[in-house]
Amino acid sequence: MSAVRSHNAVPEPRDDSSGGNAQRALRADAEHNRERILVAARELVRRDGIDVPLATIARRAGVGVATLYRRFPTRNDLIAAVYAEQRQRCIDVLHASMRDPDAWRGLCSLISTVCSIQAVDQGFNGILATQLPDAIDAKHDDYLFALDSLDQLVSAAHAQRRLRLGVTGTDVLLIVLANSAVVGGDRRRSLAASRRLVAHLLAGIGAPETLVSLPTEDIVLDDLVRERLG
C-alpha cells in the first residue's frame, strides 16, 4: 500500500480546544484586571477624591496604565463604573422611601443616607459636581426620576402634615448641598458633623409638632473649622 494518502481521504478532525481555552483564559484575565482596577479606584477615589492620578490607581491595582486604558478609555468611564454601586444605592433608598407609608420617615431616610455617603466618601461630592450638571442639561432619566420622586415624597409628607408649609423638593436638594460644606477630611469627624447638621435642617423643614432628635457625637469645633478652612 502506498504511503501517500489519497486526496479523497477524510482528514482527521483538528483539536481546537486549546484555542478556545486560550480565548476563555484571556477573557477571564481581562475581567480579573477590570475588577482589580475597580477595587483600587473605589478605595483611592473614596479617600482622595476623583482627581486621584490614574497611574496611582493602576499601580495600586497591579496593572499597567495601558491595561487600565484598555478597560476604561477615559477617566469618566472609570469614575462612572466606580460609582455605579453608589448610584444604585441611592436609587434603591429612593424607591424604599417612596414605598414607606410614613412619607416623613421616608424623606428623612433618603436625606440621611445620601448625606452619610457624602460624609464618608471623598469622591461622591466630586461626582455630583462633575456629572450632575450634565445630567441636568441632558435631562437624564435618573435625574428626572429623582426630581419626580422628591416631589411625590414632599407632597405626601405635606398631605400627612409632617412638613412646614412652603417646603419643596428644592429645599431637600439644598440640604444635600449644605451638607457638602461640612464634610471632608477625617471621616469620623465628618460623619459626626454631617449627622448633626442634617438633624438641625430636618428639624427646620419639619412641621412644628415633628420632633427630630439630635445626635450625641461630640464635635470639636476648632478641629472642624481648621480642617474645612485650612
pLDDT by residue (tens digit) across 20-53?
665 666 677 788 899 999 999 988 988 888 889 9
User: End-to-end distance of the chain based on CA atoms, in angstroms?
Assistant: 94
In DSSP terms, 163 is beta-bridged to 206
What pLDDT band is residue 2 in, cutting at 50, 70 and 90?
Answer: very low
- Does the pTM of the predicted model rise above 0.75? no
What pLDDT band is residue 203 in, cutting at 50, 70 and 90?
Answer: very high
Are 120 and 190 a contacting pair, CB within 8 Å? Answer: yes
Q: Which of 171, 92, 180, 169 is nearest to 128 (CA)?
A: 180
Whether the per-residue pLDDT at 123 is higher than 90: the answer is: no
What pLDDT band is residue 158 in, cutting at 50, 70 and 90?
Answer: very high
The mean pLDDT value of the chain amounts to 81
Are 125 and 118 a contacting pair, CB within 8 Å? Answer: yes
Burial 13-36 (b: 16+ CB within 10 A, else e): eeeeeeeeeeeeeeeeeeeebbeb
CA pair distance 227, 230, nearest whole angstrom: 5
69 versus 9: the higher-pLDDT residue is: 69
pLDDT by residue (tens digit) across 56-80?
999 999 999 999 999 999 988 898 8
**Sequence ranges of the domains in the chain:** 21-79, 84-229
Domain 84-229, architecture per CATH: Orthogonal Bundle (1.10)
CA pair distance 223, 192, nearest whole angstrom: 12
3-state secondary structure the chain: CCCCCCCCCCCCCCCCHHHHHHHHHHHHHHHHHHHHHHHHHHHHHHHHCCCCCHHHHHHHHCCCHHHHHHHCCCHHHHHHHHCHHHHHHHHHHHHHHHHCCCHHHHHHHHHHHHHHHHHHCHHHHHHHHHHHHHHHHHCCHHHHHHHHHHHHHHHHHHHCCCECCCCCHHHHHHHHHHHCCCCCCCHHHHHHHHHHHHHHHHHHHECCCCCCCCCCCCCCHHHHHHHHHC
pLDDT for 23 equals: 66
Q: Using CA atoms in the order 69, 73, 77, 78, what is the torsion angle rounded to 10 degrees?
A: 10
**Could you tell me what percent of the chain has a pLDDT over 90?**
35
Domain 21-79 part of CATH 3.40.50.2300: no
Residue 4, classified by CB atoms within 10 Å of its CB into exposed (0-12), middle (13-18) or buried (19+), is exposed
